[in-house]
Chains A and B, each alone.
Chain A
Amino acid sequence: MTELLGISPQALFGQLLIGLINGSFYALLSLGLAVIFGLLNIINFAHGALYMMGAFVGWYLLQYLGLGYWWALIISPVLVGLFGMVIEKTMLKRLHGLDHLYGLLLTFGLALIIQGLFRNQFGSSGQPYVIPKELAGGVNLGFMFLPLYRGWVIIASLVVCFATWYVIERTKLGSYLRAATENPALVQAFGINVPRLITLTYGFGVALAAFAGVMAAPIYQVNPTMGADLIIVVFAVVVIGGMGSIMGSIVTGFGLGVAEGLTKVFYPEASNTVIFVIMAIVLMIKPAGLFGRTA
């Protein structure tokens, strides 16, 4: 194959793949943030820490109980989700009716606690997590080599994202959720247990983060700081997409992952900052974000 603009197609598709992988995590995390924000009006600063926790729960399961990747993919989100519900029940609930900034501050504190505890235990070194043997190896697509596990991550996160979208936009449960977002008092009056709905929603959003964490474990090392920097990028993704729609957060998540991957090919120096630059441009042109409603 001929070179395009002096860039070999292998490098281009390789970075596109990495972009899609990163995009998968951006999408899963910003989706969780959007779901939580919709009902609780809280930006969950602890999202990155809970993503890291999800990865560590997976690592613990393998290390101490011998339960492999597939079990971790189910058990870890459930456990971390339950942990999230406890947080919601014991702490976030008490902030109801206060300025939303207090939710941000509280979850920031929680993130510090969780990250600090794991750093005490593991230092800042990473723990390796092997790729499950069913997904080891890869296939040659002719124009590039695709490691199976990476393909799986993209497909699995797409499936989970669209399943979430379907549940929220197309089912009865989702309609309760959307109604409670619009007017919780009225929904409560119709006999729906809104406080429980809120708890479950927070648990679900957190479980999405843990799911992303387990999926990330074999790609990046399991590391106490893995969520801290990621969450800031995800915040930028959320600002670019706007908080308005579920689909918006999925599309922006993948889109920005790809944009970041392409930047790595054409102008590597800017690859760390490209998402923030895009955010600044979007803010100048469309302050509410690409999919957001003006607040």
Chain B
Amino acid sequence: MTRSVEVLRTVFAGRVRHEGGRFPLLAFGAMVLVFLIAPLFIYPIFLMNVLCFAIFACAFNLLIGYAGLLSFGHAAFLGTAGYITGHAAKMWGLPPELAILAGTFAAALLGLVFGMLTIRRQGIYFAMITLALAQMVYFFYLQAPFTGGEDGIQAIPRGRMFGVLDLQNMMTLYFVVLAIFLAAFLLIYRIIHSPFGEVLKAIRENERRAISLGYKPDQYKLIVFVLSAALSGLAGGTKAIVFQLATLTDVHWSMSGEVVLMTLLGGLGTVFGPVIGALVIVALQNYLAPIGAWVTVVQGVIFVACVLMFRRGIVGEIVAKVKSRSSHSK
């Protein structure tokens, strides 16, 4: 246990600087700018949906992109946080920041349980086990009395953030959600580029060598799993406050599939990929909603196309193009 704490400290201690590790200030600035201006032109609720899913996809990417673990059960964390946040805000009357914190903490705890059961298995087994555990969680919420079953928890109060920011105001809410997203994004960037992140990548590339160098892969995997679960919870809690709703949809396996799709489409293991992926998929669902079940078909086709034709995803392909061009010009 004390060792785990020491490992956890490496998430924040020190910084790794090497080529490619430089903070992509230009891209980050552009992203911030776009999200600052966007609510002038685009419906803020839609944008907040994108931001929540972007946090979710970034959290998921932390696991698959940097630890090489494909979880098919991340909906459990999103949904759990949604329910706990909703319950805390509505029944306990907690202010939104504490309600979201409670949801995040619940997701982290669930992540710890999932992680302890799953990290000993890898690859396909890991995917199947996380999927099965998440399905168990789904059935639990279907029957548990506090979730409201098929109705979900409705009319969750938005309240006042820190007692001053009135979240009933759409613009205030939007900028609070944007701030949460940016904080999560920077935290994930920090984790990836910490000594902890470097060890993770080493384990992903060659686990045996990492062991021979004295690292304990299971500890690293468990910690990154809990971090990913907690950040997914942050997304779920924020989403519950934004939509004032927590339902079974967020715990269903198709939600786990959607976050895989967002990350895959945007680019596995890229910093900005999941954000782009979330934007595209949420937009797709929004604008294709009138054609009903065809949305599922379109998502399936994107899955197949990504796997067969561009496995690096949108951002991954762009980065590869730019890199090959710059190496040609040299």
Contact = CB atoms under 8 A, between A and B. Distances in A.
Contacts of B129: 239, 279, 283
A183 B117 CA distance: 32
B257 A112 contact: yes
B112 interface: no
B190 interface: no
B139 A232 contact: no
B303 A108 contact: yes
Given A43-B128, A235-B132, A106 B304 contact: yes
Interface string A253-295: 0000000000000000100110011011001100100000001
Contact of A235 (B131, B143, B293, B306): B131
A119 interface: yes
B297 A113 contact: yes
B313 to A, nearest CB: 12
A198 B284 CA distance: 36
B217 to A, nearest CB: 15
Interface stretch (B119-127, B165-173, B239-247): B119-127
Contacts of B304: 91, 106, 109-110, 113
Interface in B125-147: 125, 127-129, 131-133, 135-136, 139-140, 142-143
B300 A112 contact: yes
Contact of A116 (B143, B253, B293): B293
Contacts of A119: 293, 296
Contacts of A232: 131-132, 135, 253
A118 to B, nearest CB: 9
B115 to A, nearest CB: 12
A277 B129 CA distance: 11
A290 to B, nearest CB: 14
B23 interface: no
B127 A109 contact: no
A111 interface: yes
Nearest to B70: A101
A238 interface: yes
B136 A108 contact: no
A48 B302 CA distance: 20
Interface in A111-156: 111-117, 119-120
Contacts, number: 121
A269 B140 CA distance: 10
Given A101-B70, A104-B70, A239-B129, A113 B140 contact: no
Residue of A43, A115, A232 most packed against chain B (CB within 10 A): A232
Nearest to B73: A232
Nearest to A112: B300
Residue of A43, A99, A113, A229 most packed against chain B (CB within 10 A): A113
Contacts of B311: 98, 102
B140 A116 contact: no
A237 to B, nearest CB: 9
B128 A273 contact: no
B264 interface: yes
A254 to B, nearest CB: 19
B53 to A, nearest CB: 18
Given A101-B124, A119-B293, A273 B136 contact: yes
A95 interface: yes
Interface string A178-219: 000000000000000000000000000000000000000000
A273 B140 contact: yes
Contacts of B300: 109-114, 116
21 contacts: A37-B124, A100-B124, A101-B123, A102-B307, A104-B70, A104-B127, A105-B260, A106-B303, A108-B257, A112-B299, A229-B135, A233-B132, A239-B125, A239-B128, A239-B129, A273-B139, A276-B135, A277-B136, A279-B132, A280-B133, A295-B121
Nearest first, the 6 A-B pairs at minimum CB distance are A109-B303, A112-B300, A116-B296, A113-B300, A276-B136, A116-B297
